[in-house]
Structure 1
Amino acid sequence: MRRFAMPIVLLGLFSCEKEVHIHSTNTVSQLVIEGKIEQGAYPVVVLSHSLGYFSGLDSTQTKNNYVHGATITVTDNGYNYDLREYSRDTVGGSIYYYTADSSRQPNRGIPGHNYGLKIVAEGKTYISSTTIPSSHMTLDSIWYKRVLYDGDSNYAELRVRISDPPEKGNFVRYFTKRNREPFYPGLFSTENDDLVNGAPSNITLDRGINRNEKIDYQTYAYFRLKDTVTVKFCGIDRATYNFWRTLDFSFNNNGNPFSSPIVIVGNIPETQGYWGGYSVQYATIIMTD
């Protein structure tokens, strides 16, 4: 049984991709791009400015950190369409993002398609591309196993069986949703087929977590009996995998005085962030007694 977690190594990327070094000092602000297009959905892009390591953070600063008025164009196999800026109110304040104008009925994300991204913001142009994989690791089955921890037998591990295509170089990222919670990524949210290429494999999926909350490292990975759990299992390309792999590693080493500086690997030159395509598969289980 393998646990869904990444080995402690850093990966290189293609020469055209930017490596962003994170230092514990104040640096010149960069554009931060969080962009994705999922199978069956419109693209979503969030633009903001990076903050210095010692910068204070409050709701006003967060609101002012968004980048407005950008021109964003997505290219889908030669067909171009622009994104519009929208906002949504949340408990923590307004969120600003760019997505397609549904009234113009652009194509939603399609596996196998390549998606170009062009952003013109604050006098500069940024270009990237991604693919929604058409061939990727998939979920075959899902189950759970009761776990006894500190005398409590109501904990449960989530386990899945996955299949992998015969060709090497498949990557996934996963999320879990527990009851009415949102989907959260796992603490180590990515996996590749280096060790299981072309073969089925049984693995344990840790519970996805809200990284803004304090983490109990003894029990965070477990669910509870009677939980309804949905897994969101996403095929991604290598660049998207490398971004989240190194970001997960950075998050999990934050505050460790003995760790080396982490290189967050993005695929949009001269920025922090990424543009990624996701194929999507869902599976749900109720953890009965």
Structure 2
Amino acid sequence: MQSSFKNIVILLSFVWITSSCEKEIDITVDPSNPVVVVEASINQFSATLNYVFITSSIDYFKPDLTLGGIKGAQVFIYEGVISGKDTLYPEYNKFQMFSVGETPFIDSLLPVVNGIYYNPYFAGKENTCYLLDITLPNGKKITGKTQIPKVVPITKVYYEIKGNPNKDGKRDALMSFSFIDPADQNNYRIALKKGGDSLAIGWGNADTYRTFDDALVNDVERTYPFAGGFKETDTVNLYFSTIGRTEYLFWQSFGSANNSGNPFSTPAVLKSNITGATGSFTGYGVSFKQIIFK
């Protein structure tokens, strides 16, 4: 999280206030009850970005911050079929997601982290709805629905190398990209990954995220600039994705929670699209480009 500096300022202020009083005050904060958190993703571009991550939330004040991945769940994703005005999720379109660390044929593909469920043979489809169905070891049911929207392609990528070389002989690089924003409502999420390997293993492996919509501008070519952070010879992998409105609102609320996560802040409300847990099942319509600044 990027709230470390904020936490330090608040904690220092709290120390100053209490130290300026003659009477010592003891504050006891009750531990929060853990809740199940789900991050599930599906896309049409890369199988390694189709996964379900199930964890138990960790108390902010708990000294042992070990990640609470949940093993032993039964996890399925159903591909939807349109029938008139309805979307059906038949059994024959059911795909099982297997637990990494418990299934030998995928252990070599992904890092072993408890709570990750994955199937290398499962691929998402553009303009298709999906149903997530989870049964935890204790019998609790968790469900969610999402759609992979129509892909909005990256049309152009621009970059410029400028300035004087640094001590390593590399100059600064600036980058932007363009796309044609359709006439209807669209919501977007950007992920950037630096390095030569374009195959991101999970969205959490990215270095930078951006989420935005087209509430003010539609049906035009748009250019999205990045405010530096690149150097000559860098390789950057750009994932530009369309997502649904509900999923967009979740990631916006997640960003707010991420920026205000400290013991003395007002808790942010995550706008989850998961039933039986908190979190998100997000369908990504991915357009991808790899850029080498040379």
- TM beyond 0.5: yes
Paired with 2:42 and 2:177, the residues of 1 have a C-alpha distance of 25
Give the 3 Å change call, closer, same or farther, for CA 161–256 of structure 1 in structure 2.
farther
Alpha-carbon offset, residue 139 of structure 1: 1.3
Structure 2 counterpart of 1:127, one-letter code? T
Partner of 1:200: 221
Give the 3 Å change call, closer, same or farther, for CA 279–272 of structure 1 in structure 2.
same
Alpha-carbon offset, residue 96 of structure 1: 4.0
Paired with 1:283 and 1:92, the residues of 2 have a C-alpha distance of 25
Alpha-carbon offset, residue 224 of structure 1: 0.5
Paired with 1:130 and 1:226, the residues of 2 have a C-alpha distance of 38
* Conserved? CA contact 1:158–1:222, under 8 Å: no
- Does 1:56 find its partner at 2:46? no
Greater fraction of residues in strand:
1
Structure 1 counterpart of 2:39, one-letter code? E
- Does 1:163 find its partner at 2:180? yes
Percent identity between the two aligned chains: 23
Aligned-pair Cα RMSD in Å: 3.0
* Conserved? CA contact 2:52–2:117, under 8 Å: yes
* Conserved? CA contact 1:137–1:164, under 8 Å: yes
* Conserved? CA contact 2:75–2:133, under 8 Å: yes
Alpha-carbon offset, residue 144 of structure 1: 1.7
Q: How does 1:1-289 map to 2 (within 5 A)?
A: 26-42=31-47, 43-58=50-65, 61-62=66-67, 65-77=68-80, 78=89, 79-87=93-101, 88=107, 94-100=113-119, 102=121, 108-121=123-136, 122-134=138-150, 136-146=151-161, 154-167=171-184, 169-180=185-196, 184-187=206-209, 189-205=210-226, 221-255=228-262, 260-288=266-294
Unaligned runs of 5+ in 2: 1-28, 81-88, 102-106
Structure 2 counterpart of 1:114, one-letter code? C
* Conserved? CA contact 2:98–2:119, under 8 Å: yes
Structure 2 counterpart of 1:184, one-letter code? A
Greater fraction of residues in helix:
2
Paired with 1:243 and 1:25, the residues of 2 have a C-alpha distance of 27
Unaligned runs of 5+ in 1: 1-23, 207-220
Alpha-carbon offset, residue 115 of structure 1: 0.3
TM-score, reference length from structure 2: 0.71
Deviations 1:122-178 (A, max 9, x none): 2211111000002x54311111234659x99822222111211111x2111111122
TM-score, reference length from structure 1: 0.72
> Tell me, what secondary structure is at the counterpart of 1:263?
coil
* Conserved? CA contact 2:178–2:223, under 8 Å: yes
* Conserved? CA contact 1:137–1:172, under 8 Å: no
* Conserved? CA contact 2:261–2:267, under 8 Å: no
> Tell me, what secondary structure is at the counterpart of 1:35?
strand
Structure 2 counterpart of 1:35, one-letter code? A
Aligned length: 239
* Conserved? CA contact 1:137–1:170, under 8 Å: no
